[in-house]
Structure formats: C-alpha cells, structure tokens
C-alpha cells in the first residue's frame, strides 16, 4: 500500500508538472502572439501617422499655395500675395518640423542603457540608498521587499472592511486570498497559481503584474457593503511610500519610485505613463516631453488647417454663389474647363481636397485636443496615467475614512511644469531640443533636484563607469 501511495504521488507530481509546463507553454505562446499583433498594429499606426503628415503637407503645397497664387488678379496685389505665401509657408514648415522632430525622438528614445543607469544611481545617491550591484545584495533586497509587501498587504486586508482591494504582491504569483472574520477568528484560503510567463503590461496598471484579490467579509456586527459597488483595486506599488524603492521580479533589479515594468519594451520605465501604439514606444521619463510636444504642435497645426480650409469649405458647399459666378465667368470667356477667376474660390474638381482637408483637420483637432488636455492636466498635477488611476482609488479610500488625500509629488503647477520641461521659459522649452530631462523623476523631500550634480561610479558588464561633474 505504501508503494502504491508513493507511485500515485509520483504520478500526481508528473501530471502536475506536465500541466504546469503546458500552461507555461500556452501563456508563452499567447504572449508571443500578442507581441506580434502589437508590433503589426503599431507599425501600421506609425505608417498611418506619417502618411497623414505627408497628406496635409501635400494639400498645403500642391493645392492651397497654388490657389493663393491664382487669386492675384492684378499687379498691385502681387506683393500682398507673396507676403501671405511666405508667412503661411513659414508657419507650416515650423509646425511640420516640430511635429516630425518630436515624433522621431519619441519613437526612438530608449528607456534603458547607460542613461537609465546614470539616472537611477544618481537618484539613489541623492536619496541616501546604497544601490545593490552584486547578486547577493539584490537577492537580499528582494527578500526584504517581498516581506514588507506581504506584511502591508495583510495589514490592508485586516484593517479594511469597506473595500475589497486587489494588491500585486509578486509578479510571478497570482494569489487569491479570502479572509472571513467571525467573532475575532480569521480563516484564510489561498489559491496560488504559477504564472511566471503569462505577463502583459497594461496602461491601466502600468506594472503589468498579476493581482492578489482580497475579499473581506465582516460579520453581522460590521457594516454591510453594497453588493453592486465595485471593489477598489490596490496594486503593489500603491503599498509603497512616495520615496520608497521596490524590486522588479521581471528585470531583477531595483525599482525606483514611479517606475513600472513594461512588456512592450521589456524593461523598467521611469515615470511610466502608458504604451502608445502610435509611437511604437512606451511613454515615460525620457520621452514624455516629446510626446506632449507632438500633441501640442499637432493640435496647433490642425486648428491652423481648419482656419485655412473653413472659408474654402463654406464657399464650396454652404454659400455657393461665388462658385456659380466663377463657373459662368469661365464659360463666358470661352474656357473649356473651369478656371480660378475669383480669389480663393476652388474649382469643382478641387472639392475633394477641400472636403478631406477640412473634415480631417476638424476631426483630428477635436481628438488631439481631448488627449492633449488630459496630459496637460497630468503635467500640472504631477501625475502619470498609471498614477492617476491609483490616486483616484486612494482618494476614494480616504474619503470613505473621512480623510483628505494629497498627491505627495504635487509641488504646484509651476514646479510641476518644470519637472517635465525644465527651468527654461515655457516657449523656449517647447522648441525642438534633444536635451535630457533636467530634474529627477520625482521631487525629493518636497523639492525639485537637478541632475548631474554628484560624482558617481557604477559597474555594468564587468566594466566600471565613472561620471565626474
């Protein structure tokens, strides 16, 4: 009987291992498929973005400027037309250059490498953290970090009775914990599933980690919760303080504050905001300024396009009196085709350009305006898209507890702007520039700190790098 039991246990272990391997293989396959799909979609969107930019450039230089030149009916107005052409061309070229430059920098900026190592080591030195370099030091930091997160998770589960939080404890585990309180006794049931390779980063949580659901059911003496209300989500990074460092189980390195792991670029991203398929890159600390500039200059360009094409659209489709006069004048003068005889009135064959340019400019200006307004709000409030969702959860929890929650990174709109764009004048800061961010990814002790003010030495790939300022 003992031998049979041992054989059954061995069979169960083998079946469990095979099932685990199958799950890992399936999750890895799904991850590869999702990544390939993301690459295809992002490539298509980047191509579409460049095509839209080229389309509007073609409309301006091959349709609007010739139409502006054709409207000069006398020599006295030729000088005025030339001035208008130069002015419009300068403005359009300036907008195209700014959009193309910032778009290129946003796409090509990397979130790892030497520059990343310089930033986090300099930040660690300023914050008084002994950055671990060896495997033993990193493992010790990891164990301490996991213990700290588990203890804080338990505190959240035992002290919170009005909220069902979802907490990320480890990136390699998907744990479901149910805590039922009956007369002071606590029963726990955990369902642990190995999920090392099934890991997808999302804009909603930023870190791409699986969650740990904690359901707290109080007895009849406790206040009953509305079953229709959705449980609040608490992620692993939300259990840390604003100045606390964590540990990333995916990249096996220290995780600075406000950073999250992203599967799209497969590295830790400082001040991660979201993955943008239009940029084919993750938006974070090193390229957030470029991303915002793309939105701002695209919005200005679309509004400018609406202003240029709105009179043409009006004359072509709303009030067609001048268009009919131009057709009659062309016929009376013996032309076989309609000619530009009235200033800034397109011909019938050019109505397609008028419709496409006006409708596209109007639609894109509204869409980009909404996204731009949201990110300007994030800049002025010192938040990222990831932090915005987490901060809303914190505000709800604080409100239910009768407290007021305040963003610890918010230093006022002026300093928050400088956090992203630097200490230059706002207009100069928005001009095309390849400069690196001036300040650290987060304020330290309630103040902004400029970078490159400290000498530091770090090792990477068996080489020692020394940065002396």
pLDDT in tens, 375-390: 999 999 999 999 998 8
Query: Tokens 């006006």 label which residue?
Result: 358
State the alpha helices, DSSP H only, in 183-320. 288-313
pLDDT at 385: 92
Q: HEC string of 110-145?
A: CCCCHHHHHHHHHHHHHCCCCCCCCHHHHHHHHHHH
Residues of the chain with pLDDT under 70: 12-26, 70-76, 157-233, 453-469
Regarding pTM above 0.85, the answer is: no
Phi/psi of residue 142, nearest 5 degrees: -65, -45
pLDDT in tens, 258-307: 999 988 888 899 999 999 988 889 999 999 999 999 999 999 999 999 99
Query: Residue 351 corresponds to which tokens in the numbers above?
Result: 């109505």
CB atoms within 10 A of CB 109: 21
CB atoms within 10 A of CB 68: 18
CB atoms within 10 A of CB 150: 15
Helix (H) or strand (E) holding 46: helix 2-59
């Amino acid at each position: 009987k003992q031998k049979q039991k041992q054989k059954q246990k061995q069979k169960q272990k083998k079946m469990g291992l095979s099932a685990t391997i199958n799950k890992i293989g399936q999750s890895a396959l799904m991850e590869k498929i999702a990544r390939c799909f993301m690459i295809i979609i992002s490539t298509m969107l980047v191509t579409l973005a460049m095509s839209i930019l080229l389309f509007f450039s073609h409309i301006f230089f091959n349709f609007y400027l010739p139409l502006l030149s054709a409207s000069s009916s006398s020599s006295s107005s030729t000088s005025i037309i030339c001035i208008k052409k130069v002015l419009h061309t300068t403005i359009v070229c300036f907008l195209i250059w700014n959009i193309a430059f910032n778009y290129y920098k946003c796409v090509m900026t990397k979130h790892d490498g030497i520059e990343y190592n310089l930033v986090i080591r300099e930040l660690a030195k300023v914050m008084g953290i002994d950055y671990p370099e060896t495997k033993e030091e990193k493992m010790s930091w990891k164990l301490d970090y996991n213990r700290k997160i588990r203890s804080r998770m338990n505190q959240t589960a035992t002290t919170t009775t009005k909220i069902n939080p979802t907490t990320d404890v480890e990136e390699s585990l998907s744990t479901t914990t149910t805590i039922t309180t009956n007369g002071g006794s606590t029963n726990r049931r955990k369902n642990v599933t190995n999920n090392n390779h099934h890991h997808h980063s999302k804009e909603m949580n930023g870190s791409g980690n699986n969650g740990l659901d904690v359901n707290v059911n109080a007895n009849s003496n406790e206040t009953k919760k509305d079953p229709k209300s959705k449980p609040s989500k608490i992620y692993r990074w939300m259990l840390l303080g604003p100045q606390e460092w964590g540990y990333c189980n995916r990249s096996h390195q220290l995780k600075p504050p406000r950073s999250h792991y992203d599967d799209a670029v497969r590295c830790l991203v400082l001040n991660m905001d979201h993955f943008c398929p239009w940029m084919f890159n993750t938006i974070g600390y090193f390229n957030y300024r470029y991303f915002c500039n793309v939105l701002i200059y695209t919005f200005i360009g679309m509004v400018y396009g609406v202003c240029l094409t709105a009179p043409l659209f009006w004359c072509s489709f709303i009030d067609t009196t001048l268009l009919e006069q131009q057709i009659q004048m062309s016929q009376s003068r013996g032309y076989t085709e309609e000619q530009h005889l009235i200033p800034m009135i397109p011909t019938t064959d050019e109505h397609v350009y008028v419709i496409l340019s006006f409708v596209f400019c109007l639609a894109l200006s509204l869409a980009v305006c909404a996204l731009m307004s949201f990110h300007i709000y994030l800049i002025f409030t010192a938040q990222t898209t990831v932090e915005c969702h987490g901060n809303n959860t914190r505000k709800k929890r604080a409100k239910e507890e009768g407290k007021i929650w305040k963003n610890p990174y918010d230093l006022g709109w002026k300093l928050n702007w400088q956090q992203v764009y630097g200490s230059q004048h706002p207009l100069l800061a928005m001009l095309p520039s390849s400069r690196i961010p001036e300040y650290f990814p987060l304020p330290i002790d309630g103040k902004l700190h400029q970078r490159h003010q400290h000498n530091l030495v770090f090792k990477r790939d068996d080489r020692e790098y020394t940065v002396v300022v």
